[in-house]
Structure 1
Amino acid sequence: MIVLPAFSLAGCGVYSFTGANITAETISIQQFYNDAEGGPPDMPQTFTNKLKDYYLSNTNLGLVDEDGELQLEGSITGYRLTPIAPTASNNDELGGNTSALTRLTITVQVTYINTEDDQFNFENKSFSFYSDFDSDQNLTAIEATLLDEIFDQIILDIFNASVANW
């Protein structure tokens, strides 16, 4: 009977539960900036921190200030409120129409550099997601919750486009 040690069957890459195959050891994520009109003043800092936390929680990468083997940088380029689901209204002041729902859409533009394998690099790639809310709600009261939901999806999309290779 021949017994092979389990570790001899493993590859050379570093794997995570997310399906990412990463051989790099470091990542640098620069502060994202707000190039959009609108949004809370702390929006870029919140996004950057959530992005860093996601990579640190879902990979074995070490975060460095600059020149990581993997590098992410970019800006928030869109913050748009759009009325959707119009409803009839008797309010002449509003022109007879109002909206039952409003959509908040955030767009983030990202540049990703993989110094180990440039075939995975992308420059100024846009990632966008939205969340709808009842137009009767005060945006200021629910904005943080909406941003969390939108940022979570955008970060997942950035992660998948960069290190998960999906």
Structure 2
Amino acid sequence: MNKNVLLLFVPLLFLISSCGVYSLNGGSVGSLKTVNVMFFENVAPLVVNNLSQSFTQALQDRIRNQTRLSTVRGDADATFEGRITGYTIAPTVLPAANSSTAPIANTNRLTITVSVKYTNSLDPKLSFEQSFSRYQDYQGDIGTKEQTLIQAINVQLTEDIFNKAFANW
């Protein structure tokens, strides 16, 4: 029995590895070999000093870690460019238990919005221009939590962008 399973499994491994364009995370880069992730400028009304750098780096890291693409500057098979267009902090208001009292805000919401233009020069029909927005709720003052919240939102945003570009979601 084990020998039969092995005989079926080994050819399957060769078949999967020979394709070379699919990864186990669901991303397909096709015949792309290079990608250029340009710097995402922060043009949001509320500016955080390191947000542009941390978002751009997070997107580069996701692509580097989940594809076989080489990151280059200048001409590339695919290019990501855009800007951070929104950075907002707003209370999340919950209705008060007693309808005669005012609503209370026990959490706040940090939302980041990124406008992305993805250009696939080898297959232009896969190119897109779209805004992506994600948020994290938190309690209390944002001061000590801000960088952790930004990191968590960057993970979500880069996953959405990666999936749109390489998983056709």
TM-score computed with the length of structure 1 as normaliser = 0.84
Map of 1:105 onto structure 2: 111
SS of structure 2 residue aligned to 1:20: coil
User: Higher helix share goes to which structure?
Assistant: 2
Q: Give the superposition deviation at 1:138.
A: 2.0
Match of 1:68 among 76, 82, 98: 76
Deviations 1:99-119 (A, max 9, x none): 111111110000001111111
Match of 1:29 among 20, 32, 37: 37
Match of 1:118 among 113, 124, 144: 124
Map of 1:18 onto structure 2: 25
Q: Does the CA contact (< 8 Å) of 1:13 and 1:21 recur in 2?
A: no
Q: Give the superposition deviation at 1:78.
A: 0.5
Work out whether 1:132 is the aligned partner of 2:145. Answer: no
Cα distance in 2 for partners of 1:141, 1:46 equals 17
Work out whether 1:82 is the aligned partner of 2:90. Answer: yes
Match of 2:163 among 155, 160, 163: 160
Work out whether 1:146 is the aligned partner of 2:149. Answer: yes
CA change 1:121–1:87 in 2 (3 A) is same
Query: Deviation above 3 Å: which 4+ runs of structure 1?
Result: 3-13
Q: Give the superposition deviation at 1:98.
A: 4.5
Q: Which runs of 5+ in 2 are unaligned?
A: 1-6, 97-101
User: Higher strand share goes to which structure?
Assistant: 1
Q: Give the superposition deviation at 1:67.
A: 1.5
Cα distance in 2 for partners of 1:157, 1:8 equals 29
TM-score computed with the length of structure 2 as normaliser = 0.83
Match of 2:49 among 28, 41, 50: 41
Q: Give the superposition deviation at 1:28.
A: 0.3
* Equivalences, count: 154
Amino acid at match of 1:30: M
Q: What value does the CA root-mean-square deviation take over the aligned residues?
A: 2.2
Q: Does the CA contact (< 8 Å) of 1:33 and 1:74 recur in 2?
A: yes
Q: Which runs of 5+ in 1 are unaligned?
A: 89-95
